[in-house]
A and B are shown apart, each in its own frame.
Chain A
Amino acid sequence: MPSASSNPSLRSVRLERTFGDGATRRVALSQVTFDLFPGRLALLMGPSGSGKSTLLAILSGLLNPDAGQVLAWEGGGYVDVWGMSQTQREAFRLRQVGFIFQGYNLFPAFTAAQQLEIVLKWGQNASSSDARRRSHAMLEGLGLGGQMNKKPSQLSGGEKQRVAIGRALVKGSKFIFADEPTSALDWENGKLVLELLRREAHEHGATIFVVSHDSRMLPYTDIAYHLEDGHLGELSRSPLADLS
């Protein structure tokens, strides 16, 4: 993984994506080129329907672009995410990518620890004891040491989103994509979530890409972009994010 001051960890190269045909044709992304760096939290803002989620989906390997490339740093070089077969891309996501969504999407029947354990057992064939140890350590780190054995119905919204963050991080993901991760939370819990994501970036070198409407997030991000009518522009850059 390149360091924060060297190579980008994820490169978006002239990405294009349209939806619909003829009169209903809508350009979601037009020649979007930008870089994301390890150890940094990047925020993407923009009005509804501006293509924010489309960009997140393409960067994370969930939705194919019409044109352009997504290059991810892995194993000492760049790999073309959309040049891979579907199986290779799923394996790439399993190795490198974590997601946090607006909804927590936690299994109602499972405890907080089990929400993480299932990812390790099913994704990495981890043994039960290994999965339990790593899940507990992750939840401890997220301040959920006392909630390990609680089911989603026994957790607050903030706690549930922290469990969802744990699920995204527990397998050692280097790229974290978050779609409106705070929109269902009050601002106090929203701040906590952002601080956790920032810590993951700054302390563990993860590349964090957050999509949100909420401009209160700006002070917590290293760099912010704005997307409108398919065009990307830089909105702000914190001194910490000076990569030159």
Chain B
Amino acid sequence: MTYALQTLIHERSRYAAGVGAVLFSAVLIALQVGLLLGLFELTSIPVDHSSADLWVGGNHVESVDLGRPIPASYIGRLNKPGVQMPELYYLNFANFTKPSGGYSLCTVVGTGLTADHAGCPDVLTAEHRQLLTESMTVCVDQSDLGKLGLERVGDRGKVNGREVRLVGVVSGIKSLAAPWLLCSQTTARELLVAVNPTYSDHVTYLLARCDDPAHAKGIAKELAAEYPEMSVYTADEFSTKSRMFWLLRTKAGVALGYAALLGLLVGAVITAQTLYAATMASAKEFATLLALGIPRRKIYGLVMTQSFWIGLIGVTLAYPVVHLLGYVAEQAGGRVVIRWEVLLGAAVLTMGTSLLAGLVALRSVKNIEPMSLLR
């Protein structure tokens, strides 16, 4: 065992504050990022709940909910080796009139309704799909009923002035702002044409599966190069693009950055203070070693090793805490996405901060003079 670790264990109550500060920083960063990713996961729900490999939209589509109409005739452009039968996909914002009056924004999502359709949301059961084949019917997420002023199946509201009937309630497609209204392609076209006649022969996206999903990226690249007026993405790319767009557009990333920075700062100050105090508490022992001619850099090394261990212990303890708090948040209805990249990032950042705190604490070693033992 190293001298640094031995000291840490022996004087654990002294170093606990530093370990706690690192733990706090790591948990704060991981959970904040997790919550934010969870929040912005909602923006890519149509992509994440479909089984399409390719998404084709208008030029420069920034996010799945911001697609603009493209001619349905583009469907012929997807006739390429390795690409399966393409399908039409409607997605656009619309005005929802609640049964009791009042308005809400919603997003109409019109897809093919058999299980074979790549665009068909996986949250729909066979029964839902069957019910949605009836014209002007919709399904919505349980959590969005309130936003739309709906209470139960059978309730009616208006979308772009056209009456629709709720035929099913699903879960897992909670919206960020505009509830998703799942419906058939026919219903969607009718609802969207009401305010935008272009939709009579246009769609928002063309979707397709690939014979080998691994080739999707190459095919997307080829199509995009061939038809510059189209955006072509793989499902993964489009999902990430949608999340990143809203993350950056809403400046939520900036808020997150500040909060994380604050967490790191608090962690760094407490860790530095802990190390500084601990080093000063051992100042006489270190001064004796210096008197004996032991190079000062050895003591610097000890303090830096201590800061390393404080960081490592803090980060290790943070791991189960993040999972526990993430679980609690999920139980409370939140969504926390705990990805290994986020955990690794939080670990690297807080370890770095701990080492930085160690560097700051070296000031204490610099001030130790063996002569002080003779006064």
Contact = CB atoms under 8 A, between A and B. Distances in A.
Given A63-B371, A122-B298, A105 B287 contact: yes
Given A53-B375, A101-B373, A107 B7 contact: yes
B291 A99 contact: yes
Given A63-B371, A114-B3, A103 B292 contact: no
A119 interface: yes
A57 to B, nearest CB: 5
Interface residues of A, number: 34
Given A90-B295, A109-B6, A109-B7, A118 B289 contact: yes
Interface in B273-287: 282, 284-285, 287
B328 interface: no
B81 interface: no
A91 interface: yes
B11 A109 contact: yes
Interface string A106-125: 11111000100011001100
Interface in B1-48: 3, 6-7, 9-11
Contacts of B370: 62, 99
Contact of B288 (A54, A99, A171): A99
Contact of A119 (B7, B284, B289): B289
Interface string B157-183: 000000000000000000000000000
A119 B10 contact: no
A119 B3 CA distance: 12
Interface string B356-375: 00000000000000110111
A16 interface: no
Nearest to B10: A109
A168 interface: yes
Q: Chain B: interface residue count, which band?
A: 20 to 34
B344 interface: no
A241 to B, nearest CB: 25
Contacts of A60: 291
Interface in A58-73: 60, 62-63
B294 A53 contact: no
Contact of B294 (A92, A94, A103, A110): A94
B293 interface: yes
A99 B292 contact: yes
Contacts of B9: 109
A93 B285 contact: no
A53 B292 CA distance: 16
Interface of B is mostly: helix
Contact of A171 (B10, B284, B292): B292
Nearest to A151: B10
Contacts of B371: 57, 62-63
A105 B290 CA distance: 12
A119 B11 contact: no
Contact of B295 (A53, A62, A122): A122
Interface string B47-69: 00000000000000000000000
Contacts of A200: none
A98 B284 CA distance: 15
B365 to A, nearest CB: 14
A103 B374 CA distance: 10
A97 B373 contact: no
A94 B9 CA distance: 29
A185 interface: no
A222 B6 CA distance: 42
Given A62-B371, A107-B7, A90 B293 contact: yes
Nearest to A99: B291
Nearest to B297: A122
Interface in B77-96: none
Nearest to A122: B298
A167 B287 contact: no
B375 A119 contact: no
A56 B287 CA distance: 16
Given A53-B375, A56-B374, A105-B287, A94 B293 contact: yes
A95 interface: yes
Contacts of B374: 53-54, 56-57, 62-63, 101, 179
**Closest A-B pairs by Cβ, 3 of them:** A94-B293, A109-B10, A93-B293
Given A63-B374, A114-B6, A179-B374, 18 more contacts: A53-B374, A54-B374, A56-B374, A62-B370, A62-B374, A92-B293, A93-B292, A94-B294, A97-B291, A107-B7, A107-B285, A109-B10, A110-B6, A122-B289, A123-B292, A123-B293, A123-B294, A167-B292
